[in-house]
Structure formats: C-alpha cells, structure tokens
Amino acid sequence: MKQLRRYCDFFKKWFLVVLLIIAFVISIYLSTGGDSEKETQLILWGLGGGNSPWDHGWRKLNKLFEERHPGVKLVTAPHTEGAIAEKLMSTIVGNAAPDVVGGIGNQSYTAEWAARGAFLPLDDLIERDQDQPNAPNPSDWVEGAVEAVRYQGKIYGVPINTIPTALFYNEDALISAGFTDENGQVNLPKTMEGYLRFCKEYSIRDNKGHIKRLGSLMGYHHMMRVYRMGLMFGGRFFSEDGRRATFTDPDVVKALEFMTAYSDYLGGPDKFQIFNVGDWREGTGGGDKGLFSGQLGTLMHGQYYLTNIVYNAPDLNYGITDLPFAADAPRKNLVVTHSAVIPRGAKHPELAWEYLKWVISPEAQLIATQENFRITKSRGIPFTPFLTGIRPVDSLLYHEVVKDNPDYKPQTREIYKIFLGKLGNSINTDPVSSPLGKKVMRELDRAHNLAMFHVMTPYEALKQAEDKIQRELDEFYSTEKLKQINWSAIVSFFSLLSLVLIIFLIWQIKKRQLTQSQWRDLGGGLVSITPWIIGFLVFLLGPIVFSIILSFTSYSGLSAAKWVGLKNYQDLILHDPLFWRALGNTVFMLIAVPLNMMVGLGIALLLNMKVRGVNIYRTIYYLPSIIPFVAASILWLWILDPTDGIINILLRYLGIQGPAWLGDAKWTKPAMILMGLWTAGGGMIIWLAGLKGIPQQFYESARVDGANWWKQFRYITIPMLTPYIFFNLIMGIIGTLQIFAQAVIFGTADPRNAQVH
C-alpha cells in the first residue's frame, strides 16, 4: 500500500509535465504536416512572390510548371533584398533552405556565397543535360552574365536578367540649353573629361547656392559610385588572381578625384542631398526623376529605366548614348546581372534544376513577358521586357514582343534595340567575382564619403579601404590552411566539467545528512527550478560559452569554424579604426548619465512639492519616456532640422546662428544627449519614490537647528538617496551602452555620420 501511494504521489507531480511534453510533440508533428503530405513542395524565394506588375509573369510560369509536373506544389515567398544575407544564412545553417533563390546580385553576389559553399555548382548538371530540351548553354550567355554566376571556373547560377546601362538624356532640355551639333542634334561628349565640362556648363545654382539644374548625379546615384566610375576610368580593383586589392590604382584614384572635383564645384554633398530629396514636379530636383523635367540633364541608368519613364513621363522626349569613358580607358558595356541559384541543403535539387531550366528557356521567357505586357498594358503602363543576357532569349523577346509592337512608341523600340546591342563586350558593374563583393562595395562607399566631405584625400580614403579589404582577403585565403575546431573534444570537456560539478554538488548535499522532510523539500525545490535551469543553460550560458569559443575562430556560419587564436582581437584593436571610434563615442555619451540624473532629480524635487495639479505635471514629464525610440528619434529629426527646426528658429530670434546639428558630425552626439534629457522623466519616477521615502521629521529637526535648504539637501536628501543614486547610475550606464535605434536613425540623416563618424 505504501508503495502504491508512492507511485500515486509521483504520478501527481509529473503528470502535468508529461502532458505538456506530449502536447508539444503533437503540435510539432501537426505543424510540419506529419507524413501524410503527398505532394512535393518546391520552395521559391523572390520568383513570383512579390507585388510588382512583372511578378504576374513569374506566377504564370509557376502555374504552368505545376501543370506540367503533377504532384508538385510551388511555394513562393518574397524576400527582403536588404536582409537576404541574414535570412539565407539562417535557413542554410538551420537545414531549412529554400530550393531556389532568385534576385542574387543586388545586395549579395554569387561569388561570395559560392566561396563559403552556400550554393550548389551546376556544371555537372549543365553537361549532363546538354542533349535535353531547354538545356542551358553558358556559351549563349553574354560575358557580363557569365561573370556574375561564375566563381573559380564553376557555374553556380543562371541569369534571369542582365541589364545593360547607358546615359539617358532629356533631349528637349539639352536642345534648349544649346548642347547640339551643327545639325541641331544633341551632342554629348564621349570622354570623361568632356563630360565633366558638360556637367559644369549645364548646372545652374541660385544666389543661395542651391542647385536648380544639374548636369549629372555623378557620385550621388547608385549607378555612378566609385566602383562603376573606376571601371569607366579603366581602373583595376583587384589583381588577376583576385587575391590582392588594388583600390589605389592610379585610374581608380583619378575617378574619385574626378567625382570630388565635381561635387566641390557644385557646393559640396549638402547641395546634392537637397537636390536629391526635392520634388521634380515642383522644380526642386527630385534626384533621378529630375530627368523628366529637365532639372537633371543626364542620368546613367539601366534598361529597366524605360518602364520608369513610361510610367512617370510618357511624353518625355529622351534619348540614350554611350557611357563616357576616360580617353585612354578600354571601352566596355557595363551590365547589372541578377541570377537564380540552388542553395546548399535544398530538399529537392533535381526538381529545382528542372525549374531553373524551364524558366530561362526561350519558351518560358516569352510566356512571362507576354503576360507581363498584358497586365501592364491594361493599367496603362506597357511593360518593357527586361533583357536576360541569354542571346537566343533576348533576340526572341525583341522580335516577338518589341520590334513591331504598335503599343510601343518608335522611340522606345529603337532604344530597346540599342540596349540589345549593348549586351556584347560587357562587364559587370559590381565586384561579382570577389568573395568579398558586398564588403568591397561598402568600403568603397565609405571611401567615397570620406573624400567627398574632405575628411581624407581620395588616395588616403581608397588606401584605407584597400588595407581593410586586403586584410580580409588574406584572412579568407589563409583559413584554407587552418585546422578545424574539434567540437567533439569541446563538448566532451564541458560534459566532463558538468559531471564533476554535479558530483561535487551531490557530495556536498550528502555531507549535510538531510532528514527525510529536508530531502522532500530539496526535491520539490529542484523540480520547481528545473525549467529555469534548463532555460539558463540552453538559452543563456550555452550561447555565451559558444560565442566566446567562436571569438577565437574564423567562422562564417556556413563553413566550418577554424582556430585562429587571438587574431580577431588583434585585428579589432590594431587594425579597425571604427572600434576605437565606437569606444570613444561610447565614452563621450557617458556624459549624458550624470546630466540625466541631475535633470531627473531636479524635476522630482519640483514635483515633490505640494502644489495644485501636481499629478498632471508628473504625467506630462513622464510621457516622453514611454514614446518608442524610433518615433522619438524621428520627432527630434524635425526639431533639430538646421533650417526649419524649432530649436534653430528660436536661436535665430535671439540673434544666434544655430548649428547644423545632425548635418555636422561635431554636433551629432550632443544632439543625442539633448534628446536623452527630454526623457529624463523616466528616472524622475524613481527619484520621486526615493524622496517620498525620506521621513519628514529629519527636515523638521534640521530646520529647528537652523539648517538652510542647501544643508538640508546636502546632509539629508543626498545621503538618504544613495541607493537610488547607485541604481540610476547603473541603469543609466547600461542604457547608454545599449543606444542603437537613435544612433541609426540620426546617423542615416546625414551620410557623414553613417559612413565616417
């Protein structure tokens, strides 16, 4: 009977736990569909899952593929281009990779993923299927497209669009400005030197220095940044084998000096920024849309800009011409390529390959283009087919959709034909062959901003970028010789350490010779804290230890971790200037901690007085502290606007010229401190609680003894508030170290803050 009672007690204690575990397992089984799912799901990213008009063509292709492959279901999902790296890496590492990913080539490039083993090579599949229908043939792909999908001689993707670039111009605006030849035709220079003269002559500024008309967005448009301009000057960014960065190539330096000179001529980056954020309909710029109104004379852009023109300015009289190159530079056609790939870990690689073969075939591309044209024509925006970089496909699209189509203006048909010819002799506008492509573009953009704002000379800025990329290249190639981490040994070590700790704890408990009731209490306590212990070990201590170990390795998340010792810390301390700048910024921001404490205490002292409506005042002072950081930061962007911000307006009334605030890196951190003081009401609540806890008898006794208000504050209030001072100090330091949202929003308000300071 006693044994039965023991079993019943055990069942009562653990019944709920067992029930929860069973429910958890069943929920996982049901959420994954179990084994009852009969159809095969092919997961697609970025191929028909978006909301753009041309996604209709992809959706039609996906539907046809399902019809031709019974039992197959295509699941499409759009991916955010800015977050593709994080999402794709997470899915591959987590063994949940999609089967096909499209759109590679904008924020991430094929080579940098292939270098880490993230994509499946397609060469064997291409060779195997050469005699089958729809077999891809890389010899039919233009040079720029092959460059974008190849790494170390292997093909890792297929091109889904390859967009040639050219120099668009507003013909009416240029004719009115007199940039014509003897026949009255627009005459634009073919060399960079001549193009700079044209840009200066076409540009007009008002008496305040604001740009009213601009020859080019050179340096301030994504198509005319350092890498693209360097190519047009004949510059080389890497050695032949790709292992050495050569950003200080004289032609690359010349390109950045060229852009800096143009920027200086027009009044510097601030003037460009004002032009970029204007509205072309109101005659205040509008960035690249200024081409429609003639406020922008020329624009380097891709073939897809034709659809933008049809949508925004269907009656625009425009033309295109060759990109300007330096006089001694070899002329190439610059193209932008987006590709589709099969990630490592795809559940259905063979089916994914069948899908890729189908969607880039001439038949499929014609079906998709005709569907896109049908949908967009019904909306009054005739879609201009994107070129693919696959010669048979592009020729078919031109002859079947564009050449004799009366829905296109003759001008559009002629320009499309010119773009078709620009696919030959092509190179990519991005460092698509480098395993560090995205980092290369980021460092070159940083060098651009450093030069434009004259923080460094063009050569110094490029040299800094070159050194950083070279270090990363050396590290990338040196890891081939490093030894992989032996995770089994590490797990065994920590398991043994845990076992020793458990044995030690059991020994310590047994030494105490607990009674039966104490053992029962101990068992109940252990059962109660077991969920917390498991959570602590799995979600807190485990990741901390894992992160510490990884800090001594070279690990990308996709390739195996390799031991490098203290190298990461050496690079951080000795070679990364941003580390010391970030550390300096953090120390500077700690100034805000005592300021916030003093302001919060001052407000609390005022609101501790017995006055009518004090609760309303307390609410008003507390409200700013509960406003979300993003909303508060945007509000302060308006308040700190150097022209129309309320602070500078008030200062002007006092005869003081206010600073540029977020437009001046020297004032950015003080601006953040000022914003922090606005939320001092959060700390005020804690100070107020402390003040309420001080016995009033102390103050009454002090007044009887003749103590004035200062002595009461110094010898009574401050000593009694020491626990609250300590608490607010610690919380203030923690809050300062965690500043992120405000810095991001304030930093992106001005490119100098984001890239330089």
For every residue of 474-529, DSSP letters joined together read: HHHHHGGGSPBP-HHHHHHHHHHHHHHHHHHHHHHHHHT---HHHHHHHHHHHHHH
Residue 398, pLDDT above cutoff 60:
yes
pLDDT value of position 726: 92
Q: Tens digit of pLDDT for each residue in 585-639?
A: 888 888 888 888 998 888 888 888 888 888 888 888 888 888 887 788 888 888 8
Give me the pLDDT at residue 483, please. Answer: 82
544: tokens are: 């901390």
Of 565, 596, 619, the residue that ends a domain is: 565
Among the listed residues 741, 230, 165, the one whose alpha carbon sits nearest the alpha carbon of residue 447: 230
Residue 85 lies in a domain: no
Token look-up 């308006």 returns 638
Closest CA to 215 of 201, 195, 199, 231: 199
Q: In which residue are the tokens 């509008």 written?
A: 286
Domain holding 546, by residue range, is 482-565
430 shares its domain with 300? yes
When pLDDT is averaged across residues 397-419 and rounded to a whole number, the result is 91
Most distant pair of Cα atoms in the chain: their distance: 115
Kind and range of the H or E element at 123? helix 123-128
* Alpha-carbon torsion (640, 642, 647, 649), positive or negative: negative
Report, as an integer, the average pLDDT of 91-100. 89
Q: Please indicate whether residue 530 or residue 99 has the higher confidence score (pLDDT).
A: 99
State how far the Cα of 20 lies from the Cα of 731, in Å rounded to an integer: 38
Whether residue 267 is found in the same domain as residue 214: yes
The predicted-structure confidence for 111-135, as pLDDT tens digits, reads as follows 989 988 899 999 999 999 988 878 8
566: which residues sit within 8 A by CB, 6+ positions away? 552
Number of domains in the chain: 4
Report the alpha-carbon distance of residue 48 to residue 58 in Å, rounded.
Answer: 5
Scanning the structure block, which residue is given the tokens 């050495």?
244
DSSP per position, 426-476: EEESS-TTSTTHHHHHHHHHHHHHHHHTTSS-HHHHHHHHHHHHHHHHHHH
Smallest CA-to-CA distance from 216 within 242, 185, 179 is with 179
For residue 443, what are the contacts with CB-CB under 8 A and spacing of at least 6? 465, 468, 469
* CA separation for the pair 325, 585 (Å, rounded): 42
Give the end of a domain, one of 446, 478, 510.
478
490 lies in some domain: yes
Say which range, 65-74, 87-96, 659-668, has the weakest mean pLDDT: 659-668
For strands 426-428 and 204-205, give the pairing: unpaired
Q: Are residues 586 and 550 in the same domain?
A: no
Location of structure tokens 């069943």: 26
* Claim to verify: residue 672 and residue 593 sit in the same structural domain: yes
pLDDT at 226: 93
429 and 509 co-located in one domain: no
Dihedral sign of CA atoms 519, 522, 528, 529 in order: negative
Nearest alpha carbon to residue 272 among 658, 645, 663: 663
680 vs 257, higher pLDDT: 257
Here the tokens at position 69 are 């492959």
- Looking up tokens 């208000």 gives 709
Considering the domain boundaries, does residue 48 fall inside one?
no
Asked whether residue 69 is domain-assigned, the answer is no
CATH of the domain at 307: 3.40.190.10
pLDDT in tens, 696-728: 888 889 888 888 988 888 888 999 999 999 998
Token pair 């002090």 in the structure block, residue: 702
Which residue type does 529 have? I
| Phi-psi region at 619: left, alpha or beta (left = phi > 0; alpha = psi -120 to 50) | alpha
Exposed / middle / buried, residue 170 (Cβ in 10 Å: 0-12, 13-18, 19+) = buried
CATH number of residue 694's parent domain: 1.10.3720.10
Is the pLDDT at 318 greater than 80? The verdict is: yes
pLDDT tens digits along 453-482: 898 999 999 999 999 999 889 888 887 677
Asked whether residue 531 falls in the same domain as residue 605, the answer is no
pLDDT-above-70 percentage for the chain? 92
Three-class DSSP labels, 9-34: HHHHHHHHHHHHHHHHHHHHHHHCCC
Q: Residue 136 in 3-state DSSP?
A: coil
Residue 93 within a domain: no
Question: What span, in angstroms and rounded, lies between the C-alpha atoms of 695 and 613?
Answer: 23
Contact 754, 720 (CB under 8 A): no
Burial class of residue 698, CB neighbours in 10 A (0-12, 13-18, 19+): middle
Residue 201 within a domain: yes
Q: Which of 478, 496, 525 is where one domain is finished?
A: 478
**Three-class DSSP category at 104:** strand
Instruction: For residue 748, name the pLDDT band (cuts at 50, 70, 90).
Output: low
Closest CA to 657 of 642, 668, 670: 642
pLDDT band at 29; cut points 50, 70, 90: low
Are 309 and 383 spatial neighbours (Cβ–Cβ below 8 Å)?
no
Same domain, 409 and 306: yes
Q: Which of 47, 316, 283 is nearest to 158 (CA)?
A: 47
Q: What's the Rg (C-alpha) of the chain?
A: 33
Residue with tokens 């065994």, as numbered in its chain: 492
One domain for residues 434 and 509: no
- The pTM of this model reads 0.77
User: What is the rounded CA–CA span in Å between residue 734 and residue 592?
Assistant: 12
- In this structure, the answer to whether residues 495 and 473 fall within a common structural domain is no
DSSP states along 167-232: EEEEHHHHHHTT-B-TTS-B---SBHHHHHHHHHHH-EE-TTS-EEEBS--TTSSTTSSHHHHHHH
Residues 6+ positions from 577 with CB-CB distance below 8 Å: 464
Q: What's the pLDDT band for 174 if we cut at 50, 70, 90?
A: very high
Q: In angstroms, rounded to a whole number, what is the distance separating the alpha carbons of residues 66 and 72?
A: 6
| Secondary structure of 299-335 as H, E, C letters | EEEECCHHHHHHHHCCCCCEEEECCCECCCCCCCEEE
Non-local CB neighbours of 507 within 8 Å, separated by 6+ positions:
none
Residue 15 falls inside a structural domain: yes
Cβ-based burial of 313 (10 A; exposed 0-12, middle 13-18, buried ≥19): middle
- My answer on whether 410 and 534 are in the same domain is no
Both structure tokens of 205: 């500024």
- pLDDT exceeds cutoff 70 at 80: no
C-beta separation of 702 from 715 below 8 A:
yes
Shared domain for 524 and 612, answered yes or no, is: no
* CA-wise closest residue to 667 among 757, 587, 741, 730: 757
User: Tokens standing for 455?
Assistant: 């923080």
**382 assigned to some structural domain:** no
Termini Cα distance of the chain: 77
At a CB cut-off of 8 Å and minimum separation 6, what does 705 contact?
none
Based on the domain organization, do 554 and 652 belong to the same domain?
no
Nearest Cα to Cα of residue 246 among 552, 416, 49, 470: 470
Tokens 């009672």, residue located = 5
Sign, CA torsion 128/131/132/136: positive
Tokens linked to 175? 């004719």
